[in-house]
Chain A
């Protein structure tokens, strides 16, 4: 079985603080993909990043950074110097290549609340 666990239900920070969202996944596949999506209050999911299982290089995009640790099956997401606009629910998702089709397995999401 495969699944994605986001243990943090909600994280509240004050603007300019850093926030790290944890994501732990389970899969027996050797090839798989991991995603992060942002869901602002409007409801639409916004794609943030895709990472394949063979690429463990950390990535930085502006204030966002991702730490992929295959040894611990984790794909954590950090927002540096948070802003009020970062308030949203963030989802981690797993896609296995042995699946017959692109079925994303989503975690339950982490609500991030950034206050001024």
Chain B
């Protein structure tokens, strides 16, 4: 079945540690996105990528890093520089050729990160 997978579902991290969240899609989508969701709030964009080996910062990129070495994969690293990393992280993808993507984004099941 086509879809987006995120792992792990739950992740616990000690302060000062970097952690990497996985996101894989087999939808053959060009564009991929990372969002952060805090309780009672909407989603905020961290990073996005429209093509392999290219990505742009979203609205809250500080303390995060990404890579896009393969079309189907867009891992997110939460670094120790992120001051309040406890949140729910959602990965998404969409069809895009070039320029703005007007198509709906499809979301993965999310990873809940807790800093101990």
Contacts and interface: CB of A to CB of B under 8 A. Distances in A.
Interface of A: 4, 9, 33, 35, 37, 42-47, 50, 52, 91, 93, 95, 97, 99-104, 106-109
A4 B44 CA distance: 12
A102 B109 contact: no
B17 interface: no
B45 A103 contact: yes
Contacts, number: 72
Nearest to B6: A44
B18 interface: no
B84 interface: no
Contacts of A93: 42
A9 B40 contact: yes
B102 A103 contact: no
A103 B48 contact: yes
A52 B100 CA distance: 14
A104 B109 contact: no
A106 B102 contact: no
A13 to B, nearest CB: 20
B45 A108 contact: no
B35 to A, nearest CB: 8
A109 to B, nearest CB: 6
Nearest to A44: B109
Nearest to A106: B42
Interface in B38-73: 40-45, 48, 50, 56, 58-59
Counting chain A CB atoms within 10 Å of each CB, the highest count among B40, B102, B104, B110 belongs to B104
Contact of B94 (A46, A52, A102): A102
Contacts of B110: 43-44
